[in-house]
Structure formats: structure tokens, C-alpha cells
Amino acid sequence: MNNAIDQPHGIIAAALTPLKPDFTPDLDAIPGLLHYLAERGCHGSLILGTTGEGPSFSSSERQAIYQSTLTIRQAFPDFKLFAGTGTPSQEETISLTRLAFDLGFDGVVVLPPYYFRKVSEEGLIAWFSQVIQRAVPDGRPLLYYHFPSITGIDISIDFLSRLKQTFPDRFAGLKDSSGNPDFSDQLGERFGQDLVVFTGNDRLFSRCLENHGSGCITAMSNLYSPMLRQIWDAFQHGHPDLQTQGKVSSLRTILERYTPFPPILKGLISLHSPFPTWPVRPPLLPSSSNTVRQASYELAEIG
């Protein structure tokens, strides 16, 4: 049997999570959001990542949210679904990861156990080894979620190499949200196309592709997936689109003035789509209408 990993790639939206006014998940709205993203050029979506407020939901809520996404395959059978399953609890992470694969998700993106920030890489290897051995089927991809500014946990190239060597048919690579261009270069130099690398920073999208990267998983894909898809398609045809990349980089710079992303993105997407302004779950607070208008004005000046 060939257990080689089916290499994921393309524009993956770090999807928002629609909520009702009482802060419960709006399960009926989730398929519509995914349909919208697919029509605008996304190859797939990450469900319950940082932009999706993943850590704010219980395991039972996550299960319901995962299940609500599956109908997208009726209209877009090739649309890829990835689940954010990482929690500080190893057992909960294993349970959520198993669930995602049992439901038919195409892969998982797993944060490290971020409560204990000063753990060794040996400890992280032991933790991820248990998750992979107990929850990831052969040939299915687990991606490490590298986000040191949020988790407080940084990793080395050697750490990734060890996981890849130990679990070549299950550890696929990483979503790199470090925002570090040198790290992006090092990944390309060390692994080439042997490691799946999605950038989490739109400014580094073209650089990621030049370094043999697989695509992007970003918050901005909720709003600007057509531009990102244009960069992707141009690169596939051997003609990097530096002009569009420049616009995307400028848009990202503006959006970073309004972090955290979920509140401002929920405000902005309601201006350019049929969706309402979905709430965010506390401790996040909604962006004011004035803030959303100001951000929209600044972004519109770029294009």
C-alpha cells in the first residue's frame, strides 16, 4: 500500500466562525461562508484556527462546527477542509484530531501545547509523537502550527526534520505564521519540496512560493482571496505577479493596525458580502462601526 501523503496546496482561508447574538456558533451560516470562499478562488479552508477563534470553543462546539462544514463538498467536491485541533491538553487534541479525520477532513493544523512555554524540543517531540501515533491515519497530513508570537513556543529546523524523518507518511509540514522571512528561506533551503509549508503571512506569500512552499493559510483570504489566487495562478504559470503581491502586502500592513483579526474581519466582510456582522466571542470585543469604516476606507485606497 502506498501511504504517501497527498500534498495539500493552494489558497486556504483561515475561516471566520459565524456566531449568533448569544455567542453560540451559527451552524446554519457556516456552509454559506465556505461557499462564498470557494467561489472567490479558495482551494480550501482551515476551520477553527486563530481567525476562527478556535481556542474559545469547547470540544462539543468544535464537533458541531466541524460537522456543519461537510455540505460544502456537495457543491465543491474538491474543496479541502482542514481542522484546527491543537489545545494545551494532549488528550483533547488527540480526540479532536481523530474526530476531524473520522469526519473526512483533509488534514489538521495543530498548535503546540502553549500553556507551558519553556518546554524543550524533546518535550514537544514526545507530545507530537503521541498525537500522531494515536490520532493521525497513515497518509493523512498533520501540519504543525508555528505561531511563536501567540504560543510563546519557537522551533528549529531540526525539530521539523526529526518529525518528518520519524513520521514521513503522517507529518506533512507546517503553517508558518512566524512572519520571519529568513525562516521561510531556511525552510526552502533545507527541505525543498519535501515539506509542506503554508505561509500564514500574506506579505510572504510570493517568497514562500519561491522557496518551494505549498501556498497560504491566512486571515486575509476571507476578504482578498481573488488577489491571492491571482498570485498563485501566475506563479503556477511561471510568471510571478509582483504587482499584485505588492498590493496584498500593503493591505496586510493596514489590517495589522486593527488586530486581533476576527473582530475587524467580521466587520469588513459584512460590508462586501451578504453576511451580517457576526459577533466575536469574549474576551474579544467587536470593532466599532467607526473603526470598520476607517479600515475599509484605508484598504479601498490600495485596491
Catalytic site residues? 50, 115, 144, 175
Looking at the chain, list the stretches that DSSP marks H as alpha helix, in order from N- to C-terminal side. Answer: 30-39, 59-68, 72-75, 90-103, 121-135, 148-151, 157-166, 181-191, 205-210, 221-236, 242-255, 261-271, 289-302
Burial label for 219, CB within 10 Å (0-12, 13-18, 19+), is: buried
143 torsion bin: left (phi>0), alpha (psi -120 to 50), beta (else) = beta
> CA-CA distances (angstroms) from residue 76 to 36, 38, 59, 205?
11, 7, 27, 25
Please list the helix, strand and coil fractions of the chain in percent, rounded to the nearest 5, in that order.
Answer: 50, 15, 40
> CA-CA distances (angstroms) from residue 201 to 14, 95, 198, 211, 247?
11, 29, 9, 14, 14
User: 132 is written with which cell numbers?
Assistant: 500522531
